[in-house]
């Protein structure tokens, strides 16, 4: 009887959340509006609040369609404009084509070969700590170009082989450290580049919608990659000196199993080389403009003119056209069904739509927010504002969806930064996108945190304890190092 009641409670709770959210979406606009805020502005706020409740309590997929549908009823926008701002946005296309390109790489032996190259290196063979560092470093390197959830599941079999090599069992402290490390490093890599990573792109999109300015991916990576390296070093120091698992019982390792696995992977063939060459071409088109602009501004301007969606579009086209042994490098239908995270993409579309609605001058919500927030933040030091938004982003992303966190924190932070002298709006938007990517302390933060916590190799309490330890380190490094460097590159 107790189990039956337990099962029945969840649907009722969800029904209450859905009814409440729909009530907010439908009727918030009829509340008395504060001075200076239009009915359309109330409509946007009600849509955002109602859908936010659904995102947090139900999911990110179909609630995002409610967001798009609701915004379509705003008279000054209409369905055509909303669809153009969401599914027709270049950021949506960028994510779609990038997911497809990276799926092409995931179907080769490159990622597994790269990971095993790390764990069978001369350094890794010196001892368990060196092996752990090498494995987690491989997660960071590969994760700069792969979706974190895909990365986690691709690296999990290699982690299981490490357990076999070291003779680890569930409950062993060193095994728990490696399980946590895979979770933390998968998230860490997701903030180091905007390539195949939705969270920084959403935050950057808020800034771009508000200012109509583009963000150079080279400038983003110029501060985010060093930040990731610093945090990786900090993570390993936390593991070594605070978590401090014993390694005496397996100091001598037999790595023959790794060598066998290495031999089982097919050698790099012409198909893999072509896919990697095409993807390298895509990455160069993303980062080259920011690097060559001081020397070759006309070339950089020509590449930038086509936006960030064009390089992966070209990549998908080339992979679809080129054939090896009668088969295309990229199976288009398979990439669309298995390689694209459609729930994430649908939510990205809805956040783009609501970002456009917030910044629409005819609705006037940005002007209202700026005039409301400016008196509050007018005398607040910029450093305090940076700490406020970084801390908010870090805490929320450890408890809820990274996509929701990126949209919500950036939506508030960007208008404040634009209205505050000396506060770089582009830099804070990028730092927020990076910071929200790192959250992985609790099961609701990211799916693989829940999976790792229930795996038996580690547990939810250890993930929470060391996830929040890393969260405090993230806040400190983001405020002291990341924002100043971002502001320098984005002046």
Q: What is the DSSP letter of 390?
A: H
Residue 436 belongs to a domain: no
Same domain, 317 and 290: yes
Same domain, 174 and 303: yes
Label residue 206 exposed, middle or buried (CB < 10 Å: 0-12, 13-18, 19+). buried
Residue 483 belongs to a domain: no
Same domain, 73 and 111: no
Domain's final residue, options 29, 51, 80:
80
Cβ-based neighbours of 77, under 8 Å, separated by 6 or more? 71, 357, 360, 363
Nearest C-alpha neighbor of 40 from the set 354, 294, 306, 302: 354
- Backbone dihedral region of 307: left (phi > 0), alpha (psi from -120 to 50 degrees) or beta? left
CB atoms within 10 A of CB 410: 31
Same domain, 27 and 153: no
Residue 388 belongs to a domain: no
**Total residues found in the chain within this entry:** 491
Domain's final residue, options 276, 306, 339:
339
Q: Per the structure, how many domains does the chain have?
A: 2
**How many Å separate Cα 105 from the centre of its chain?**
19
- Strand-pair partners of 296: none
Same domain, 133 and 56: no
Q: How many angstroms separate the most distant Cα atoms in the chain? A: 74
Same domain, 5 and 146: no
**How many Å separate Cα 414 from the centre of its chain?**
19
C-alpha–C-alpha distance, residues 293 and 392, integer Å: 34
Residue 393 belongs to a domain: no
What is the model's pLDDT at position 6? 45
Domain range for 189: 92-203+215-339
CA angle 197, 405, 350 (to 5 degrees): 70
What is the model's pLDDT at position 251? 60
Same domain, 100 and 73: no
Same domain, 37 and 110: no
Q: Which two tokens stand for residue 458?
A: 């580690």
Q: Which two tokens stand for residue 372?
A: 């409301």
Same domain, 181 and 280: yes
Domain's final residue, options 48, 80, 112:
80
Residue 443 belongs to a domain: no
C-alpha–C-alpha distance, residues 181 and 261, integer Å: 22
Residue 286 belongs to a domain: yes
Label residue 371 exposed, middle or buried (CB < 10 Å: 0-12, 13-18, 19+). middle
Q: What is the DSSP letter of 266?
A: P
What is the model's pLDDT at position 3? 44
Same domain, 49 and 137: no
Which helix (H) or strand (E) is 468 found in, with range? helix 460-477
Nearest C-alpha neighbor of 20 from the set 63, 62, 60, 61: 63
Residue-level pLDDT, tens digit, the chain, 491 residues:
444 444 445 589 889 999 999 999 999 999 998 888 899 999 999 998 999 888 878 888 899 999 999 999 999 999 999 999 999 988 899 889 989 998 999 888 888 888 888 988 888 888 889 999 999 999 999 999 888 988 898 898 889 888 887 888 888 999 999 999 999 999 999 999 998 898 999 999 999 988 888 888 899 999 999 999 999 999 999 999 999 998 876 666 666 666 666 676 778 889 999 999 999 999 899 988 878 888 888 988 998 888 889 999 999 999 999 999 999 999 999 999 998 889 888 988 888 888 888 878 889 887 887 777 777 777 789 999 999 999 999 998 998 778 878 988 998 899 889 888 899 999 999 999 999 999 999 877 888 888 898 889 999 899 999 999 999 999 999 999 999 999 999 97
Same domain, 189 and 298: yes
What is the model's pLDDT at position 290? 79
CB atoms within 10 A of CB 462: 17
Same domain, 123 and 176: yes
What is the model's pLDDT at position 249? 66
What is the model's pLDDT at position 26? 95
């Amino acid at each position: 009887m107790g189990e039956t009641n337990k099962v029945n409670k969840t649907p009722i709770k969800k029904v209450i959340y859905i009814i409440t959210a729909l009530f907010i979406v439908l009727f918030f606009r009829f509340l008395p509006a504060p001075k200076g805020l239009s009915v359309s502005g109330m409509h946007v706020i009600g849509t955002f609040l109602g859908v936010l409740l659904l995102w947090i309590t139900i999911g990110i997929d179909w609630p995002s369609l409610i967001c798009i549908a609701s915004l379509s009823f705003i008279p000054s926008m209409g369905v055509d404009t909303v669809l153009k701002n969401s599914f027709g946005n270049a950021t949506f296309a960028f994510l779609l084509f990038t997911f497809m390109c990276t799926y092409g790489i995931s179907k080769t032996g490159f990622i597994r070969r790269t990971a095993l190259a790390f764990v069978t290196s001369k350094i890794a063979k010196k001892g368990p700590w060196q092996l752990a560092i090498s494995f987690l470093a491989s997660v960071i390197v590969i994760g700069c170009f792969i979706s974190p959830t895909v990365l986690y599941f691709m690296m999990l079999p290699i982690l299981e082989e490490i357990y076999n090599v070291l003779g680890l069992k569930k409950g062993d402290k060193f095994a728990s450290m490696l399980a946590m490390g895979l979770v933390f490093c998968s998230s860490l890599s997701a903030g180091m580049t905007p390539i195949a990573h939705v969270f920084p792109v959403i935050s950057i999109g808020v800034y771009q919608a508000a200012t109509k300015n583009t963000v150079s991916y080279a400038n983003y990576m110029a501060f985010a990659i060093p930040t990731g390296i610093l945090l990786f070093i900090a993570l390993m120091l936390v593991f070594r000196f605070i978590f401090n698992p014993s390694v005496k019982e397996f100091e001598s390792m037999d790595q023959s199993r790794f060598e066998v696995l290495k031999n089982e992977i097919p050698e790099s063939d012409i198909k893999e080389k072509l896919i990697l060459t095409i993807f390298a071409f895509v990455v160069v088109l993303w980062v080259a403009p920011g690097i060559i602009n001081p020397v070759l501004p006309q070339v950089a301007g020509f590449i930038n003119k086509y936006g960030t969606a064009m390089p992966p579009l070209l990549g998908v086209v080339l992979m679809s056209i080129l054939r090896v042994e009668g088969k295309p490098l990229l199976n288009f239908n398979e990439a669309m069904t298995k390689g694209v995270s459609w729930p994430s993409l649908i939510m990205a579309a809805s956040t783009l739509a609501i970002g456009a609605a917030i910044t629409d001058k005819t609705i006037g919500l940005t002007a209202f927010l700026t005039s409301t927030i400016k008196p509050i933040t007018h005398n607040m030091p910029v450093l305090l504002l940076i700490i406020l938004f970084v801390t908010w982003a870090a805490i929320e992303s450890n408890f809820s969806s990274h996509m929701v966190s990126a949209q919500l924190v950036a939506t508030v932070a960007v208008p404040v930064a634009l209205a505050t002298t000396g506060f770089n709006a582009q830099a804070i938007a990028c730092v927020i996108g990076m910071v929200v990517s790192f959250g992985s302390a609790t099961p609701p933060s990211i799916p693989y945190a829940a999976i790792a916590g229930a795996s038996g190799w580690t547990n939810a309490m250890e993930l929470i304890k060391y996830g929040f330890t890393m969260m405090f380190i993230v806040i400190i490094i983001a405020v002291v190092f990341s924002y100043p460097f971002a502001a320098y590159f984005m002046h």
